[in-house]
Structure 1
Amino acid sequence: MDSLLPTTPRNALFFYTIWLLCLVPITQGADPTFSYINCPNTNLTTTGTYAPNSTYKTNLDSLLSVLVSNSNASNGFYNYTAGSSPPDVAYGLFLCRGDLTVAVCRDCVTYASRDVVQQCPSAKRVMIWYDECWLRYSNESIFAAQETSDQSVVLVNTQNMMNATHYSEVLGEVL
């Protein structure tokens, strides 16, 4: 009767590879926690939409790609402009929570860049929030510009503080 233990280096390598493959699902991060999306009703107007083969779509794809690639080496914030001729310029940015690792920030921005296009296909102005990050793009400059739309969003944390005393101490130091 043959032993189940590897007897040759080739068998050992095979079992080691199988063991590593079993670990892959364990080490993958969870999807970010969705909070809110601001996606204008694109059915009411065509000025807030773009065509699938348009220059704006090309610029938007470039913008989202640059945001994702820079989430890996950023300080949790990055803004970028793709294109040079209005109205086809795509402006965008992301912001990650300050207490997150670069890997979690990158995963959130990557997920958001895919999710936003699926949830708001052909929309030129979109903001999407997760607990871990926020991503926004527009065909109008959004850098150093106050949002003046009549829409407002209140995101409430429904979780309790774990240590109210420590929170009060830190708050007192900051103020």
Structure 2
Amino acid sequence: MGAALTGATACSPSGGTENSPETSSPTSSENSLASVDPCTVLSETELKSFGLKSPGSPAEPLPWTPGCDYLGDPIGLRLVKNTRETVASAEQKDTWATFERTTVNGRAAATAVTKGATQAETCDAMFDAGEGMIQVRATESRPPYTVDECAEALKIAKKVEPKVPEPV
């Protein structure tokens, strides 16, 4: 449970502690995603509605990809901000087994499965935000593996989207 959260991710750096969805204009050269904390962007009630447990555990596989891992049932979640990539640049990577463009509340978005995760019951939903993107990775927690991970990741992405800055 949660082991499938590893793998190639397109993620981003951490920043301040402010968590206001209205903070959408970056100041000077600061990244507008700096105020987004992946461990506080969703409320406890929202997490519970997806079967996720609070609090999450901070995860930072790369300095520009801070995230937060949440255990849950039927899915586990890794929520990441990435200040080095957008959906368009992520699409160009050779790491995807599937990459399907979509929208999240009108923003450029995609669902994708990494080549190494095709049997891991894992799917990423990503959408443009600030000067980068937000990535939502849903991983099915246990058999019988009947959850549509991409659909779950998109549902969560739609809850996160109003709380993060508009793409720059």
TM class, shorter-length: 0.3 to 0.5
Q: Mark the structure with the bigger radius of gyration.
A: 1
Between 1 and 2, higher relative CO (CA 8 Å, sep ≥ 6) is seen in: 2
- Greater per-residue strand proportion: 2
The answer to which structure has the higher helix fraction is: 1
